[in-house]
Structure 1
């Protein structure tokens, strides 16, 4: 039987301009943190042209774990670990009532006429910011074959919770999980290649989507994928209602990661070369650099060498390396972006579903790097918005780094131009020389 996708609800915007708030919207609520005041964060988002935020709604913690969530203690990873890593650089501890904070997010979204994409990073990193391991333990206790279905049930409960307060109209759509082929949702499956994992995950995800559809047959639900799995599109379940992919093209950043072994085993890391070329003076040895509590190594999927280099790297030296080698990768990065977006559009058209790019474009640079916030990255953002218009995407980002927890948030003009161009189905203007 051919699946008929759930249509986009009529009250949602014609185009979604998305800012990525991930788990930061509850982890970074302490004094002076970017989400201390949700109304301010939403007001700044609207000023920049956004109408949608995408978040980890911590569904399993709130509606599946059975844990007391009235006083969730969150904060830095401890010992300075992750202090200069994007998304991980939490400075202040905080305590949140999980369900009450979720309700506050949706009430603020309504006040500012915004919408929310519900997702989860729980099998990738969310629980790493808790001060004790019970959340992580609860997640890992679920059999890998059942994890996606349990997430779907928890998200269905979460939707019921919001509906009980009349806030469910703020939901744009629901994702079973973030980047399903990257993280503990794919535990126990064969193959390290990301496209192979897409294919291997299909049965688990199809069942999970059926679980959510059975509970909420009139609400769009999907999963999303790291990159665009061009070699594994056959693995995407036919019962998604939206195709969501994350076109991080990497290119020169991928070359840097490979050159210095950021995603290789700790034992293979070339400490002497890193000391000489990219690390700050006095950096500890990689083998010594671990979080204060070892359980956090299971709670996050980011490799130890990558966190180490981001924490102890000389950001300017890393940017110089990226700029110096960019010329060799410029055309490949632009070509990859265009091909991936074409592949995604083709699958979406064939299955009659809208297309969303929930993250992208270069990749995961150190917090203090300005490569993606600088002229090269900004031009790639403009290209990506133009390409999102060309493939008639329903939703896109200016950049994953265009959010309150990142430096790019300060580039108001770039975000306004990109979002205005996407909403008008036009090309973002090239800024005039200053």
Structure 2
């Protein structure tokens, strides 16, 4: 019996080799833990990052070799008169609630009570020193035009960056990164920089489209530092039309989220909007804790804090007062019809990112993923379904030559998922064995 030839499209290609070259001094695979801005907004006594060196050591013990952070470049090196603010930065979170506690206390990433001061430049240097001691590298990004400034007690940082005209913001970011890179170089840490992102999720930040001046700034910064990988991050790259991405990115650092059943729930309860008449609606009230206050009783944080973040007031209220057991039960019960499409969506997006990176000849990184934004104590992504989706995403990315991946956006010291020690060690070992 002879085999039929059915066309070149039936011949499988081995695409597991890296999509683009990686500097020789960097690991040939990155397994990333996402510390975002939390490494300085949750650093008070008893908080996850109070002992920075211990946090780095623990990450290394779990098998991670890369940490992705908001390095606050504009605050530290942006030339906006913020030197004293950065030297004595007061962290305030979203502020105290009139009901006791603080706004965001059960909202993922926003559960920062504040009440302490830090020298952020000194803290950044300490992070690099700990990373060097524990064999880690750092992915540098900025969340400043997305949410970092909302966690300061004073609006000074937000007001300074907000005063920069929209068209000038990428230039300010680029100049700040240039100064920060030189400062880190002077302190002997240039080889510790795995990647520099002009900004995190430029498509979901208070910035122009990257093609409106941002790509030019990436190119300029790359010319100033040709030995470093420099790019900009996308929250939702155009997976069906990757040719729309601007030229000049030195890496494909894109995020892969498949909301699926989560999106269905979010739309049902209208939690991501702002100013919705009659909020919270009946569908959301069905998910709330029995002691949930009305929206009026809950109150509001300072108005400038909502302008400083892309997360809405309805999200903060909802995630603070949702019953996580009821939330998780709804997601698990309604997941079956979404299972196949969520797996396909994760795979197709990861493959599209890798294919674009291979076409451009640059390394690919999935710096965030895989399901989406849930209440702090919701366990859908930490549970069997979420872990299965994460494992599927990691495997697909590695099979297609992606250089670096997160296990999950929630696999970090400030999330409950950090307690899944064995799972993290096992999956990290698989990544580093490729």
TM-score normalised over the length of structure 1: 0.91
- From 39, 59, 66, the equivalent of 1:25 is 39
SS, match of residue 353 in structure 1:
coil
Which structure is higher in RCO with an 8 Å CA cutoff and minimum separation 6?
Answer: 2
Cα 1:286–1:343 shift into 2, 3 Å: same
Q: Which residue of 2 aligns with 1:113?
A: 135
SS, match of residue 431 in structure 2:
helix
Task: After the TM superposition, list the runs of 4 or more consecutive aligned residues in structure 1 that deviate by more than 4 angstroms.
Answer: 287-290
SS, match of residue 229 in structure 1:
coil
Question: Partners in 2 of 1:53 and 1:291 — Cα distance?
Answer: 33
What are the residue-to-residue correspondences of 1:296-315 with 2, within 5 Å? 296-315=305-324
Report if aligned partners of 1:174, 1:222 keep a CA contact under 8 Å in 2: yes
Question: Partners in 2 of 1:61 and 1:308 — Cα distance?
Answer: 29
Report if aligned partners of 2:131, 2:138 keep a CA contact under 8 Å in 1: yes
Report if aligned partners of 1:33, 1:92 keep a CA contact under 8 Å in 2: no
Q: Which residue of 2 aligns with 1:196?
A: none
Q: Does 1:172 align with 2:194?
A: yes
Q: Does 1:59 align with 2:73?
A: yes
Report if aligned partners of 2:222, 2:250 keep a CA contact under 8 Å in 1: no
Cα 1:288–1:185 shift into 2, 3 Å: farther
Question: Partners in 1 of 2:143 and 2:233 — Cα distance?
Answer: 11
- From 246, 250, 273, the equivalent of 2:282 is 273
Question: Partners in 2 of 1:120 and 1:290 — Cα distance?
Answer: 30
What are the residue-to-residue correspondences of 1:175-190 with 2, within 5 Å? 175-186=197-208
What are the residue-to-residue correspondences of 1:6-405 with 2, within 5 Å? 8-64=22-78, 65-67=80-82, 68=84, 69-78=86-95, 79=97, 80-186=102-208, 200-268=209-277, 270-274=279-283, 276-286=285-295, 289-405=298-414
Question: Partners in 2 of 1:352 and 1:25 — Cα distance?
Answer: 32
Deviations 1:185-230, CA, capped at 9 Å, x for gaps: 13xxxxxxxxxxxxx4313221211331242222210011113421
Deviations 1:319-355, CA, capped at 9 Å, x for gaps: 1111111111111100001111111111111110111
> 1:272: Cα distance to partner?
4.3
Question: Partners in 1 of 2:225 and 2:210 — Cα distance?
Answer: 22
Q: Which residue of 2 aligns with 1:190?
A: none
Q: Which residue of 2 aligns with 1:191?
A: none
Deviations 1:331-385, CA, capped at 9 Å, x for gaps: 1100001111111111111110111000100000100101111111111121112
- Structural RMSD (CA): 1.7
Question: Partners in 1 of 2:298 and 2:158 — Cα distance?
Answer: 21
Give the number of aligned pairs.
Answer: 408
> 1:83: Cα distance to partner?
1.0
Question: Partners in 2 of 1:32 and 1:387 — Cα distance?
Answer: 38
Cα 1:275–1:214 shift into 2, 3 Å: closer
SS, match of residue 416 in structure 1:
helix
Report if aligned partners of 2:370, 2:389 keep a CA contact under 8 Å in 1: yes
Report if aligned partners of 2:20, 2:364 keep a CA contact under 8 Å in 1: no
Alignment gaps of 5+ in structure 1: 187-199, 426-434
SS, match of residue 322 in structure 1:
helix
Question: Partners in 2 of 1:226 and 1:275 — Cα distance?
Answer: 26
Question: Partners in 1 of 2:171 and 2:413 — Cα distance?
Answer: 32
Q: Which residue of 2 aligns with 1:194?
A: none
Alignment gaps of 5+ in structure 2: 1-18
